[in-house]
């Protein structure tokens, strides 16, 4: 019943959010991927809502209501899907082969890392799976957010991922396979969103190139296997970035809905949602469209506020800060210089990112000079810039916090960066490609 609720809720939301039928197989795949991601998020958010409202997890009656609501939306808004057996700009066989090899290597790395570390990475057993176990085992779910826990358990974090894992524990038993499967699913969704969206909008060649840029990043399969919330938040950020560039109010609403789920996944999700909204207002100057985006995110913003006000203890960054420390860090030039050096060193951190970040930095400069930056790319630049003051003003040692968090921030933004930048790169490269084709 839980799986059926996820599928039907996702299908209903996608049917509601898209004003026209899909025109190609990649378009259908994108909608199916979006439906799965949205359905999972709604199921977890409803799990949290029922717990905070009544102290009890949702039962079969709740699942039946979700199923009925999703089915009603789908029946009312569905449109007959169309498929195109001849995708635009098809990818050559060698590119498909290279992508398949990269996927196989990434899958092998995921399996190997999961077998060696079945409980996931540090954050998995210290935060996310710990929270899920509290939610399943405890007589009172509020113990999962007790102020008596060590602050490194981050009781203030939103809990979309623990909610998903806790429901899996309740259904299948408390075993490491459950969070491992959830981690694998979110990794697949991140890849599928990038490939399907770019293939539908830019052509299969560019979709495969985008997927290759994600799956061939050395740290991506490892972060996916770590069972942490960074890949899940990347799924919702990439989905929101893909949809916010649309002109339809329905897709803008769905973009806000996806951004809201990102807010309920990690604290950084609120910053990403604000960055998307700011970029939309700056680029589009459309207050009505911005309000549509806000209305989509509003249910999860309200849920997050409810949790922060009633249950969550203060965040460690604010709890350990004082007005004097914030001012002192803000006016300390050595701290800003240290951050700059750390960022420059991380760009060439080959064992995690290969040369992808170097390529991204070069592409950003080129596209900015040509005024080809897309709306979601501008939003990601806003988010990237906002993390600078956060790093400088926070109370911990800068080097320690940067080394333990910078990689996860880049993993969170990378799928969205591909969705945002590859359309601009295609526009930049099109004259050269057409010229080469004509000569051939």
The tens digit of pLDDT for each residue in 4-58 reads 888 889 889 998 888 776 667 888 899 999 999 999 999 999 999 999 998 888 8
- Cβ count within 10 A of residue 307: 19
pLDDT of residue 3: 86
Q: How confident is the model at residue 434 (pLDDT cuts 50, 70, 90)?
A: very low
Q: How confident is the model at residue 432 (pLDDT cuts 50, 70, 90)?
A: low
Answer yes or no: is pLDDT of 413 > 50.
yes
Domain range annotation of the chain: 2-77+103-313+327-425
Burial class (CB in 10 A: 0-12, 13-18, 19+), 342: middle
The DSSP element (H or E) to which 3 belongs, if any, is: helix 2-17
User: Which is more confidently placed, 377 or 88?
Assistant: 377
pLDDT of residue 78: 76
Q: How many degrees, rounded to 5, is the angle at CA 109 between CA 127 and CA 158? A: 20
pLDDT of residue 80: 58
The tens digit of pLDDT for each residue in 269-325 reads 999 999 999 999 999 999 999 999 999 999 999 999 999 999 988 887 887 888 899
Three-class DSSP category at 320: coil
Tokens of 56: 């009890």
- Give 261-319 as a DSSP string: HHHTT-THHHHHHHHHHHHHHHHH--HHHHHHHHHHHHHHHHHHHHHHHHTPPPPHHHH
Answer yes or no: is pLDDT of 437 > 50.
no
pLDDT of residue 23: 66
Selection from 37, 76, 408, 362 nearest residue 197 by Cα: 37
Q: What is the pTM of this model?
A: 0.94
pLDDT of residue 307: 96
Tokens of 154: 């981050």
The tens digit of pLDDT for each residue in 230-282 reads 999 999 999 999 999 887 888 999 999 999 999 999 999 999 999 999 999 99
DSSP 125: I
pLDDT of residue 440: 44
Answer yes or no: is pLDDT of 100 > 50.
yes
Q: State the chain's mean pLDDT as an integer.
A: 90
Answer yes or no: is pLDDT of 81 > 60.
no
pLDDT of residue 22: 66
pLDDT of residue 77: 82
**Out of 71-80, 119-128, 218-227, 235-244, least confident range:** 71-80
pLDDT of residue 438: 44
Mean pLDDT value of segment 139-167 = 91
Which residues are CB-contacts of 134 (< 8 A; sequence separation ≥ 6)? 141, 143, 144
Cβ-contact 37, 236 below 8 angstroms: yes
Burial class (CB in 10 A: 0-12, 13-18, 19+), 107: middle
Buried b (16+ CB within 10 A) or exposed e, 156-193: bbbbbbbbbbbbbbbeeebebebbbebbbbbbbbbbbb
Side-chain half-sphere CA neighbours of 42 within 13 A: 29
Answer yes or no: is pLDDT of 83 > 70.
no
The DSSP element (H or E) to which 187 belongs, if any, is: helix 177-202
Q: How confident is the model at residue 85 (pLDDT cuts 50, 70, 90)?
A: very low
Cα separation values, 215 from 46, 167, 224, Å: 32, 28, 11
Percent of the chain, pLDDT > 70?
95
């Amino acid at each position: 019943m839980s799986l059926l609720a996820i599928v039907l809720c996702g299908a209903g939301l996608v049917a509601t959010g898209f004003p026209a039928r899909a025109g190609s197989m990649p378009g259908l795949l994108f909608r199916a991927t979006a439906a799965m991601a949205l359905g999972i998020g709604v199921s977890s958010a409803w799990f949290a809502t029922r717990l905070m409202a009544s102290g009890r997890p949702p039962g079969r009656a709740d699942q039946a209501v979700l199923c009925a609501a999703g089915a009603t939306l789908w029946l009312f808004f569905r449109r007959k899907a169309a498929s195109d057996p001849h995708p635009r700009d098809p990818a050559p066989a060698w590119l498909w082969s290279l992508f398949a090899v990269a996927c196989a290597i990434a899958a092998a790395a995921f399996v190997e890392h999961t077998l060696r570390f079945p409980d996931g990475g540090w954050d998995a057993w210290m935060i996310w799976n710990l929270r899920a176990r509290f939610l399943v085992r405890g007589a009172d779910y509020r113990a999962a957010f007790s102020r008596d826990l060590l602050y490194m358990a981050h009781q203030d974090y939103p809990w979309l991922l623990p909610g998903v894992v806790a429901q899996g524990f309740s259904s299948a038993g408390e075993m490491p396979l459950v969070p491992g499967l959830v981690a694998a699913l979110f990794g697949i969704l991140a890849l599928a969103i990038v490939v399907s969206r770019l293939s539908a909008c830019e052509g299969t060649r560019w979709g495969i190139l985008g997927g290759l840029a994600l799956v061939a990043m050395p740290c991506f399969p490892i972060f996916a296997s770590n069972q942490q919330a960074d890949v899940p938040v990347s799924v919702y950020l990439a989905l929101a970035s893909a949809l916010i560039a649309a002109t339809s109010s329905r897709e803008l609403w769905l973009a806000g809905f996806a951004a809201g789920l990102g807010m309920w996944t990690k604290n950084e999700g609120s910053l990403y949602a604000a960055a998307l909204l700011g970029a939309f207002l700056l680029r589009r100057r459309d207050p009505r469209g911005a309000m549509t985006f806000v209305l989509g995110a509003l249910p999860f913003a309200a849920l997050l506020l409810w949790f922060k006000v009633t249950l969550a203890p203060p965040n460690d960054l604010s709890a350990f800060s004082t007005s004097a420390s914030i001012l002192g860090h803000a006016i300390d030039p050595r701290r800003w210089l240290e951050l700059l050096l750390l960022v420059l060193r991380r760009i060439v951190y080959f064992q995690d990112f290969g040369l992808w970040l170097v390529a991204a930095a070069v592409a950003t400069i080129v596209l900015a000079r040509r005024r080809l930056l897309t709306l979601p790319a501008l939003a990601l630049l806003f988010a990237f810039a906002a993390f600078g003051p956060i790093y400088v003003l926070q109370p911990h040692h800068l080097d320690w916090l940067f080394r333990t968090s910078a990689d996860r921030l880049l993993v969170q933004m990378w799928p969205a960066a591909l969705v945002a930048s590859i359309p601009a790169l295609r526009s930049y490269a099109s004259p050269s490609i057409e010229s080469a084709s004509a000569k051939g």
